[in-house]
Structure formats: structure tokens, C-alpha cells
Amino acid sequence: MDAENPLLPPFFYQQQKAYSFCMKFAKDKDVLEVGSGSGYGTYRLAKVASNILGIDSSELAVNKSKEKYKADNLNFIWSKIEDYRTKQEFDVVIALQVLEHLEKPELFLRKVAAILKKEGLLLITTPNSQTQSYNENPYHYKEYSFGELRNFFSKYFREVNLYGISGNSEVRNFERARKDHVLSLLSGDRFKLRRFLPRKIKQLAFDLIAYLNRFLYQQRDRRLNREILEDDYKIAKENEPNPIDIIAVCRHLR
């Protein structure tokens, strides 16, 4: 997501809330961010981390990050996390909105276990399947519930703490309107024939619909979009009802 021109501000500030949460764990630590994207969040983390490496599977994203964000303790590498080779061990591994994109998440977890210090920390965020599955995002191989995440990470970590990212009434109104718009677009396919399309075709259609959805929503209610900022989001323990995203804080490798 482009920090200077986010397509829809609420998505940007929701992500920044997660980065703010991560910063307290990254302070004075050697950090690896998996899926560093545009590099903006990695750059924020570099302000508190001892050293930080951003890794991303997009060569274009990595090149842009290197050009735009520079600091003595910051570096970016183009690689899939599964293919990354290093002897370095990290205090903290951060992966925001990555897990759902992985066809084989076990490979990700094994790699994290290999490069994380014994008493290190894994921080991830991922959409809450119980509130976000209506999107039918073809880029997501799997979306997770709280229980599924706890079971998944408990295979490798002795301590797994889960939190939810939710918002105030303005955020809830935005989420409700977005959901209604998506469902209205999908209602044209009453027999759900889209299920039989190749993944690549579904991804192209999703990109187009997502762009139109965001553009039309911005035009329809610009006032709401402008008002939603980072402070409109909150992070609470997993018993918070209907969070948008889930945060997992995993400690103590088995």
C-alpha cells in the first residue's frame, strides 16, 4: 500500500494501527519483516529496531522500497521467504497480511522457526474469516478464525496470544457499507459460477471489481473516508466481538 497515495484511507490506517502495535516489540531488536510491500511500514519499524530487513517476493516492490526508504539499519531483499537463505537469527519476525496468501503455510512456519532465536517472537496479522470471508478474495488460499490460528501456531510455539483489530462506529459503518457493496456486485452471479473459473481469471476479475468498489465508494461517501484515521481503530484481546483482523503474538519456540 502506497503511504503517500493510499487508494482508500481506512485500509491504510488500519494497517498502521498494526504497525504501531508491532513497534513496541521491535524496539532495540533485530527484526525481519516478511512481505514488506511498499516498505513504508518497514521504515517505521526501523525507527525503533536495532536492525531490520524487509523481504518481499515482488522485485518491483523491493526496488521501490530501496529507492524510497533509506536508513543505516534498514535493508530490503527480493525473495520468497521459503527460498531465503541466511545464517542470521532474528529476535522478531513480523508478517502482516501474509499468511492468507500462502499456499503452503507450514513451509512459512518452518522457515520462521529456523531463523528465529529460541526466545524470539513472531507477530502476524491476517483477516478474520468470520467477518471478512464475504470478499471471496482469490489471492487468499485460506482465511483463519481465532481457533484455527491458535491451533496452527501452537504446533511451533508454547505461547500464542491472540488479539483483534476492530474500530469505532465510523469504522463499522464503513465496513458495513463495503460489505453491502461487495455482496451487491456478487449477487449478479446467483448460481456462483465464479467458483469454476481458473484462479488467474478470478484474480483479474477481483482486481477490477475491487478497484471499482473502492472508487465508487469514495465518490459516494468521501466524507466518511476522510474521517477515518488510525485512532479510530483499536486492538484488544480475542474476546472483542467481530474484529476485522486477527493479530497473533507467538513466543517460545518448541
pLDDT, tens digit, for every residue of 203-248?
787 777 777 766 665 665 555 555 789 999 999 998 778 899 999 9
Query: Which ranges in the chain belong to alpha helices (H)?
Result: 9-26, 40-46, 59-68, 105-115, 129-132, 146-153, 169-186, 199-220, 222-227
* pLDDT for 241: 80
| Mean pLDDT rounded to a whole number for the chain | 87
User: Which residue in this structure is represented by grid cell 497480511?
Assistant: 97
* C-beta separation of 61 from 39 below 8 A: yes
What would the grid cell of residue 82 be? 521459503
pLDDT at 129 over 70: yes
Give pLDDT, residue 7.
55
What does the pLDDT look like over 20-51, one tens digit per residue? 999 999 999 999 999 999 999 999 999 999 99
Instruction: Output the pTM of the full model.
Output: 0.86
Instruction: Grade residue 166 by pLDDT with cuts at 50, 70 and 90.
Output: very high
CATH code matching the domain that covers 9-167+233-253, chosen among 3.30.565.10, 3.40.309.10, 3.40.50.720, 3.40.50.150: 3.40.50.150
